């Protein structure tokens, strides 16, 4: 499967000015699996033409092989290779923009000293006014220690910054929330917790990101208890919300109530644990959790993490044991957050009628999507080039928008369940089909519908400082 725009190269080629040379180059690119986009002339001289050729490739190695093949062609020389992704990140993706003018002496006196002193005193007298007179009401800290960056592993805080900057852009563009990337040097849960606690006067919410298991459970759990603003680890709960929303629409297609369904969840780390807990909170019939050792069974404590022991005590009521193939037999749903290419046709065929497969490993799903669609009724992946993409960006902007709108003190499971219900309902019932169980990231109804549902639930559960929902929610 192609990586798409994520690997787009612009090749500046110096080409001998003779008929047929461009055709020779495009043939080489095609023969080596490149996908040509734009072809532009940079300059033309008597003996040579310099052209920029934009090509999509599968990965860095594919790009290097392609450039090497072009360079072996007589009369052609690649003089520069530009990577579209790296170019877009030069200088970072964020900047600070003032919301008030600063053009006159009066402007300065109002925005800064001496006028600002009156605002400081007002907040000092009543701390709740920080939500009125500062950006706290609309700000989120995006916090990471760089220990689990995307699927790349522990690359450290500097390497985490591009992801956190991207997250901040999504907050702003999709929900008009001001988000700040904060990447911490320490990967000690105690130090992360203490640092975030010291930062909270400046923010209205905390989005934890790319923190490895089991630290992510410790950090989120303790911050949830100690802070008076909402905290969410998006890798856990964002994934769970979108999975639950998509599953509700998929079950509508196959006509199965969630209380009668058994789901296999393969991968019981941060995301898998949150998905299982969300499914249980939503009233699913049963869950069979599977890790790399096989089905997780209550009582098998020696090889289980503390969180897995909790999950084991709440799942696998029939006490199945064995491997993934055993777990799949008779199951209604498979949800994979593990590794690619582990599902076989026989496994899918062993499931109950009209099976639902969510193969969410990225970039390679747990099974080839074409194969899965041949045997399963509904298939979803984590890829943008496949139908039914399960993507966290569908939920976290709206969830935090709703929480901030009512100045929520906590992020509760009820708020997340409300977000899942709202996300599922964005698609009208008569439009739900096998290839449309989850809306597009760019659907303009997603954020406001989730935000309103989350805000109302926060009010109903008594974790909102404001008891009315702003009209923008």
Residue 121 known to be catalytic: no
Query: Quick one: pLDDT at residue 302?
Result: 72
CA atoms within 13 A on the CB side of 228: 10
pLDDT of residue 471: 75
How high is the pLDDT of residue 362?
A: 83
Phi, psi values for residue 456, rounded to 5°? -65, -40
Per-residue pLDDT of the chain in tens (473 residues, 90 and over written 9):
455 677 899 999 999 999 999 999 999 999 999 999 899 999 998 899 999 999 999 888 999 999 999 999 999 999 999 998 898 899 999 998 899 999 999 999 999 999 999 999 999 999 999 999 999 999 999 999 999 998 788 999 999 999 999 999 999 999 999 999 999 999 999 999 999 999 999 999 999 999 998 899 999 999 999 999 999 999 899 999 999 999 999 999 999 999 999 999 999 988 999 999 999 999 999 999 999 889 999 887 777 888 888 999 999 999 999 999 999 999 999 999 998 999 999 999 999 999 999 999 987 899 999 999 999 999 999 988 899 999 999 999 999 999 999 999 999 999 999 999 999 999 999 999 999 999 998 999 999 999 999 999 999 999 999 988 887 64
What φ, ψ does residue 384 adopt, rounded to 5°?
-75, -15
Q: Is 167 a catalytic residue?
A: yes
436: nearest Cα among 378, 397, 382? 378
Spot the catalytic one: 7, 93, 103, 112: 112
Instruction: Give strand pairing partners of 77.
Output: 14
Marked catalytic residue, from 136, 167, 256, 410: 167
Q: Give the integer Cα–Cα distance in Å for 171 and 177.
A: 5
Strand order in the sheet with 262-266: 294-295, 286-291, 262-266, 333-336, 356-359, 378-381
Q: Which residues contact 203 (CB under 8 A, 6 or more apart)?
A: 136, 139, 140, 141, 180, 229
Query: pLDDT value at position 304?
Result: 80
d(CA 250, CA 195): 41
The answer to whether residues 177 and 141 touch, using CB atoms and an 8 Å cutoff, is no
Q: How many CA atoms lie within 13 A of 197 on its CB side?
A: 15
How big is the CA angle at 143 (ends 141 and 144), to the nearest 5 degrees? 165
Nearest CA among 271, 94, 90 for reference residue 166: 94
């Amino acid at each position: 499967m192609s990586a798409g725009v994520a690997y787009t190269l612009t090749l500046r080629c110096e080409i001998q000015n003779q008929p047929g040379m461009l055709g020779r180059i495009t043939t080489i690119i095609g023969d080596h699996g490149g996908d040509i986009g734009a072809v532009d002339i940079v300059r033309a001289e008597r003996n040579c033409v310099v052209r920029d050729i934009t090509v999509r490739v599968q990965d860095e190695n594919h790009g290097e092989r392609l450039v090497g093949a072009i360079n072996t062609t007589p009369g052609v020389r690649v003089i520069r290779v530009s990577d579209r992704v790296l170019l877009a990140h030069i200088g970072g993706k964020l900047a600070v923009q003032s919301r008030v003018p600063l053009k006159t002496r009066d402007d300065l006196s109002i925005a800064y000293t001496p006028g600002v002193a009156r605002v400081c005193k007002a907040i000092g007298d009543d701390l709740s006014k920080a939500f009125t007179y500062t950006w706290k009401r609309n700000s989120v800290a995006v916090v990471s220690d760089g220990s689990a960056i995307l699927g790349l592993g522990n690359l450290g805080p500097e390497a985490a910054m591009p992801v956190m900057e991207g997250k901040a852009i999504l907050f702003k563009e999709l929900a008009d929330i001001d988000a700040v990337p904060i990447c911490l040097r320490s990967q000690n849960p105690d130090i992360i917790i203490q640092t975030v606690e010291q930062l909270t006067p400046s923010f209205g919410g905390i989005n934890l990101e790319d923190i490895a298991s089991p630290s992510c459970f410790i950090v989120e759990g303790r911050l949830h208890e100690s802070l008076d603003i909402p905290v969410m680890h998006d890798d856990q709960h964002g994934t769970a919300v979108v999975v639950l929303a998509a599953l509700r629409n998929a079950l509508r297609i196959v006509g199965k109530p969630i209380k009668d369904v058994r789901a296999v969840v393969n991968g019981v780390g941060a995301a898998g644990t949150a998905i299982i807990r969300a499914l249980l909170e939503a009233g699913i019939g049963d869950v069979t959790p599977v890790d790399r050792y096989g089905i997780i069974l209550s009582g098998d404590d020696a090889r289980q993490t503390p969180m897995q022991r909790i999950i084991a005590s709440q799942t696998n009521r029939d006490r199945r044991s064995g491997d993934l193939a055993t777990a799949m037999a008779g199951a209604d749903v498979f949800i994979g957050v593990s590794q690619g290419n582990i599902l076989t046709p026989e496994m899918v065929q062993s499931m109950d009628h009209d099976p639902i497969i969510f193969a969410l490993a990225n970039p390679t799903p747990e099974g080839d999507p074409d194969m899965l669609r041949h045997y399963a009724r509904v298939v979803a992946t984590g890829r943008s080039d496949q139908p039914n993409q399960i993507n966290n960006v569908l939920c976290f902007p709206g969830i935090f928008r709703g929480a901030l709108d009512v100045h929520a003190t906590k992020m509760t499971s009820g708020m997340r369940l409300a977000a899942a219900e709202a996300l599922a309902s964005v698609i009208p019932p008569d439009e739900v089909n096998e290839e449309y169980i989850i809306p597009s990231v760019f659907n303009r109804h997603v954020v406001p519908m989730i935000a309103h549902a989350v805000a109302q639930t926060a009010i109903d559960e008594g974790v909102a400082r404001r008891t009315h929902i702003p009209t923008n929610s």
